[in-house]
Amino acid sequence: MKYEQFNTQLLMLLGGKKNIKSVAHCTTRLRLTLYKNKLAQTQEIEKLDGVIGVVANKIAYQIIIGTQVTDIYNEFIHLVGINNPADSDIRIKGIRGIVQSIMVVVSETMSSIVELLLAAGLIAGILTILTMSKVLDANSSTAHIFNAISSATFYFLPILVASAAAKRFGINPYIAIVLAATLLSSSINGVEGLTLFGVPLRPIVYANSFIPILLAVWFLSLVIKQLQQWLPKALHYFLLSALALSIVLPVTLLLFGPIGEWIGMGISAFLYALKESVGNWFVVMLYAAVQPFLIVFGAGNFVTPIVVHSFATQGYDPIFFAATISDFGVAGAMFGYFLRAKIQKDKQLFGTVGFSAFMGITEPAIFGVFLKYRRPFLAVMIGGGAGGLLAGLMGVKRTVYAWGLAGLPTYLDGGVHNFTWMMASVAVSFMIAGITAYGLGFPKVAVSEEEETIISTEESDGSHQILAKAAKGNIVPLSMVQDQAFSSGALGSGIGIMPIEDSCDVFSPVDGVITLVYPTKHAYGIQALNGDEILIHIGIDTVNLQGKYFESFVSAGDRVREGDRIAAYRVNKLREESIDPTIMVVITNQGEV
């Protein structure tokens, strides 16, 4: 188990196995439902190496991890003892609960197969570029063979959905695959004139579809569970699958197939009505502006079935390609913050999540930065909306299932005009979002036990820095400190503090980031928002105590505000051992500021 240590720590901080009600995951998030959210030590979880952030609400406790989330999830459910993901379904009463459950099922099912859809789309896009540039003959066997990857992936989409949904509902995926393959057989798929028990069937094309098989697998899971209760165990092997298929197939043909067709027609009608009433440009602009909010609510993949339906019926996607425009807006906002940030750790964060968004994965930025600072949402709404407006007015469309930077060349499939305006749209989104984010800046953040709040005070302009109280005691000139490294000024200018009580708390004298916590808990480095590098050293020769009598409340990388307690130590114990308890506070990079 590659992530055993991580998962063991995580499980402990979540309150143990007894506090885990459900476990699921999407592209970058581990999504849990806990019996008691208050048992989860959120701040400690955020400090785990590999955790980008935590978002908790009444519906789910989401831990943003990254693209390795699938491997972590597989080991985590084994550690927790959940073998059947269906046993951990979210159950919320009322209409809201039904809608939420549907969104969760659709999103998690699509998350399992979206990587394959992207691969098929990119291969198709590369083939388009090769054939348009005459590197490869479009009628050659080589082109047909590789094109089969894309065409087969979307044609047999019901089989992929069946497998993913079966795992989600906790049943044998092979029986679901057989059901999907039956619907795609030449005896049923799109055949006219069929009857079942004398009842005429609609000639429905199940290839490229999503909704009918998802409903069918859901019903299949209910039937299987009921049959497992009714049938003697000795007969399960011989009768269970046969009876389940015999019951579910007719219901699918008579009910779920038509429902899927009606939903598809309804979606098409709704999009057509929007296009006719307000214009396609408005819908593209709106989606590009609000897409980050859909990610927050876990609905990012909810539009995938609509996109697949558009490809199947129209041959292209006229709206939801705007997700790529939005992604570039997210990347632009993070680039603006990267330029604005003065703390190296912040620059690393903004640069990393910005690059991820550039490649089409925005969850790290949205959950790691957007929810913390809020203002990037506005930047993307403005930048993404502007880019979406341009693309909508110019009639950009997507003929290949692809997104992000790697997917941009595939827009050549729609012609040079299509490609040119798509490139212009993502450039507009990136630049405007970046400029807006840089202008808005980011507020200082304080995290309380209850929630994360935003303090509306801007960072220092760098012209000066006032150091607040670091500890309670009497000021000692640094030149009087009995440590030559400090008294000589070699480590920088500052002061000494002689504590006056038996126990002493040490506080951060500035707003900034902890850059160093010495293993023996006697020394701390802080980088202030204006760039000052501050060293707080507790006692003289206290390194020899190996942490005895010291307590630390922060870790490297933590954000701190002026007055936050970072350490405490027993002054009386130091004196008993004839150790000088003086605290030294110095600015180590004074020559640079």
Report phi then psi at 448, rounded to 5: -95, 180
Give Cβ neighbours of residue 407 (< 8 Å, ≥ 6 apart): 118, 121, 122, 125, 324, 360, 400
pLDDT reported for residue 308 = 74
- Between CA 385 and CA 63 the distance in angstroms is 29
pLDDT reported for residue 88 = 42
8 Å CB contact between 574 and 539: yes
pLDDT tens-place string over residues 236-254: 888 999 999 999 999 999 9
pLDDT reported for residue 90 = 40
**For this structure, is 504 an active site residue?**
no
3-class DSSP state of 395: coil
- Between CA 489 and CA 285 the distance in angstroms is 59
> Which parts of the chain register pLDDT below 70?
1, 26-28, 57-60, 66-67, 82-104, 107-108, 110-111, 114, 118, 121, 264, 267-268, 271, 295-302, 345, 363-364, 367-368, 371-372, 442-466, 490, 590-593
3-class DSSP state of 538: strand
Domains parsed from the chain with CATH numbers: 4-91 (3.30.1360.60), 97-278 (no CATH), 282-447 (no CATH), 473-592 (2.70.70.10)
Cα of 126 vs its chain's centroid, Å? 28
The widest CA-to-CA distance across the chain, in whole angstroms, is 102
* Distance set, CA 332 to CA 263, 397, 438 (Å): 36, 22, 10
The closest alpha carbon to 42, from 67, 66, 74, 64, belongs to 64
Tokens, residue 496: 């000494």
* Side-chain-side CA neighbours of residue 132 (13 Å): 15
pLDDT reported for residue 59 = 54
pLDDT tens-place string over residues 376-409: 889 999 999 999 999 999 999 998 777 777 778 8
Q: Is 150 buried (19+), middle (13-18) or exposed (0-12) by CB count in 10 A?
A: buried
Q: CA-CA-CA-CA torsion for 150, 151, 153, 159, nearest 10 degrees?
A: 180
pTM: 0.51
pLDDT reported for residue 85 = 47
Query: Which among 20, 24, 26, 69 is annotated as catalytic?
Result: 26
pLDDT reported for residue 331 = 92
* Distance set, CA 208 to CA 183, 257, 533 (Å): 11, 13, 59
